[in-house]
Amino acid sequence: MSNYQNLTLTEIAARIRGGVDTLVIFHRHPDGDAVGSGFALKLLLEMMGCRVLCSCDDELPERLAFLACDQQPSIKAENIPADFSPAQIITVDTASSAQVGEQYGRYAGRINLMIDHHARGEMYADGWIDGDASSAGELIYRLSRELLRTGRIPSIPTEVDRLLYAAISSDTGCFRYSNAGPDAHKAAAQLLEANFDAADINHRLFGVKSHKLLLAEKLGFERLHLFADGKVAIVDMPMSVKRQYGLTDEHLETLVDVARGLQGVQVAAAIRQPSDDGVYRVSMRSSCAVDVSAICASFGGGGHVKAAGCTIVCDEGIEAVVEMVAKVLIAAL
């Protein structure tokens, strides 16, 4: 049992230091919530006199580059300047040390605060964890208003609100998912008062797909496996197919939606192989009472009741992983 404290909004706002070099870390394979909330926090900290860099083990997907707004040329940890030695490290939208990635080995014991909204995860620092929040963006929205209320910042720039709206919209599927509760909608309504182009944000997040992403979805449909009379759907994407068509993990983000979108499917999963070894990344989604975060937790992962992920190590091939995942999903129905 860790001795880390789960702080309140008031407490975490008071713990954030101004005027110091600060590193904001978000999880590997960043999504719109991680990027939007991370860069929004960067802007807020800069208003408090901090020199701030955002960092991640992986580079931004091309489709999310518009959320970085050229605030820095690269977020990859390997590109942090040698003379940047942060006095404050804050993680955002990162539920476990494993999601921090290789940086955790570098900064273990030095992470000051974590801000996260995943109901199942790991406390690896003092933090503000609210599993009822729709997104990390919703949490940073509340934090921004608290910093303003207490006089830590003089105002909230429109760019902060634009990034936070994008973060909330991203993690709620443009407010279509069950996590888009009243608080998410209220936050979005207030953010929209900043008068940025929300339609453009949602178009970029949900209405535009690259040719290779569409190709990946086509291949995913061809590799769709159905179980339990069509209630369970799994898409698999082995490294051999990725290599054949020149795909990267960035092009596989919507594979689970291919499985979930089929009529009659209650639980869906996408299984992808990031390299030639026996490591497989699994994304799960539920449209019923099945708690996929509990299933993923059994494999060392986590997430939300309706959306979660994990990593499975198996030397028997992707077919064995499909069979393994199918069995646990069928049993959970």
Number of structural domains (the chain) is 2
Write the DSSP symbol of residue 173.
Answer: T
Across 284-292, average pLDDT: 95
Together in a domain, 50 and 199: yes
Let me know if residue 4 belongs to a domain: no
pLDDT digit string (tens) for 32-73? 999 999 999 999 999 999 999 999 999 888 889 999 977 777
Q: What single string gives the DSSP state of each residue in 97-158?
A: HHHHTTHHHHHTTT--EEEE--SB----SSEEE-TTSS-HHHHHHHHHHHHHHTTSSS---H
Above 60 in pLDDT, residue 90? Answer: yes
Together in a domain, 169 and 241: no
pLDDT digit string (tens) for 249-267? 889 989 999 999 999 999 9
Sign, CA torsion 28/32/33/38:
positive
Together in a domain, 45 and 120: yes
CATH number at residue 121: 3.90.1640.10
Q: Please, which pLDDT band fits residue 222 given cuts at 50, 70 and 90? A: very high
As a whole number of Å, the end-to-end CA separation of the chain is 32
Together in a domain, 49 and 182: yes
What is the predicted pLDDT for the residue at 301? 85
Q: 283 in helix, strand or coil?
A: strand
Together in a domain, 62 and 186: yes
pTM over 0.85: yes
Together in a domain, 172 and 228: no
CB 290 within 8 A of CB 276: no
Backbone angles phi, psi at 7, to 5 degrees: -90, 160
pLDDT digit string (tens) for 182-220? 999 999 999 999 999 999 999 999 999 999 999 999 999
Let me know if residue 163 belongs to a domain: yes
Mean pLDDT of the chain: 94
Together in a domain, 163 and 95: yes
Together in a domain, 284 and 200: no
What is the predicted pLDDT for the residue at 113? 98
Together in a domain, 198 and 299: no
Let me know if residue 123 belongs to a domain: yes
Together in a domain, 196 and 277: no
pLDDT digit string (tens) for 295-325? 998 998 888 899 999 999 999 999 999 999 9
Together in a domain, 127 and 184: yes
| Domain residue limits at 257 | 211-332
Above 50 in pLDDT, residue 1? Answer: no
